[in-house]
C-alpha cells in the first residue's frame, strides 16, 4: 500500500525541517518527505548569507528514528545555493544529519546507546542494518566520548 498524507512537522521534531508528506511503503516501513524550512544558507567560502537556490540534488534516503513503530526513512533533496558575493555554489549544511552518512544524528545516537548494552549483530538484525554500519556508529560514538574528544562538527 502506498498512501500519501500530510504530516505535522512538529511530529518529526527536527530543527528547520518541514515534513511535506509521507508514504507507508510496507508493513514495517514509513518514508517521510522533508524539506529545509530555511530560506537562506551561509556560504562556507565567504560566510555571506545566500538566498539564491542554484539547484536541488536528487532525493536521498536517510534513516531516522522509528515512527509509529515503523522503521523510518527520510527522503530529502539537498539544495545547492549560489553565493552572490563570491560566485561559488555550495550545498546547504544541516544540523540534524551525521555528515556524510545516510542517517540522522539522533538515529546514530540511538544506535550508539544500544551498542553499549546489546550485541551488535542483534542490533543490525533488528534494525535492518549491516554489522559494519552498526560498528561504524559505535566507533564514531566512542571516539566522541573519549576524554580528549571534544565534539567535532
Ligand atoms: Zn560566498
Distance 84 CA to ligand 1 centre (A): 7
Task: Write down the pLDDT at residue 121.
Answer: 97
Tell me if 15 sits within 8 A of 35, measured CB to CB.
no
Q: Give the burial string for 89-103 (b: 16+ CB within 10 Å, else e).
A: bbebebebbbeebeb
pLDDT higher at 138 or 3? 138
User: Residue 147 — very low, low, confident or very high, per pLDDT cuts 50/70/90?
Assistant: low
Asked if the model's pLDDT at residue 88 lies above 90, the reply is yes
Torsion of CA 63, 64, 68, 69, to 10 degrees: 70
Distance 44 CA to ligand 1 centre (A): 7
User: How many whole angstroms separate alpha carbon 88 and alpha carbon 122?
Assistant: 45
Distance 54 CA to ligand 1 centre (A): 13
Neighbour count for residue 85 (Cβ, 10 Å) = 12
Q: Residue ranges of the domains in the chain?
A: 98-146
How do residues 93-114 score in pLDDT, each as one tens digit?
898 998 789 999 999 999 999 9
Model's pTM, two decimal places?
Answer: 0.83
What average pLDDT score do residues 77-87 get?
Answer: 95
138, containing H or E segment: helix 131-144
* Percent of residues, the chain, with pLDDT higher than 70: 89
Amino acid at each position: 500500500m502506498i498512501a500519501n498524507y500530510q504530516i505535522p512537522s512538529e511530529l518529526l521534531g527536527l530543527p528547520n525541517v518541514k515534513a511535506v508528506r509521507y508514504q507507508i511503503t510496507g508493513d514495517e516501513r514509513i518514508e517521510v518527505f522533508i524539506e529545509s524550512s530555511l530560506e537562506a544558507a551561509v556560504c562556507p567560502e565567504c560566510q555571506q548569507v545566500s538566498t539564491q537556490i542554484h539547484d536541488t540534488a536528487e532525493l536521498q534516503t536517510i534513516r531516522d528514528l522509528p515512527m509509529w513503530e515503523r522503521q523510518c526513512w527520510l527522503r530529502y533533496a539537498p539544495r545547492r545555493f549560489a553565493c552572490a558575493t563570491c560566485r561559488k555554489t555550495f550545498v546547504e549544511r544541516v544540523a540534524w544529519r551525521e555528515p556524510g552518512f545516510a542517517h540522522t544524528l539522533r538515529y546514530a545516537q540511538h544506535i550508539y546507546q544500544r551498542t553499549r548494552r546489546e550485541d551488535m549483530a542483534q542490533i543490525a538484525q533488528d534494525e535492518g542494518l549491516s554489522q559494519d554500519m552498526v560498528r561504524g556508529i559505535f566507533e564514531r560514538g566512542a571516539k566522541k566520548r573519549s576524554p580528549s574528544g571534544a565534539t567535532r562538527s
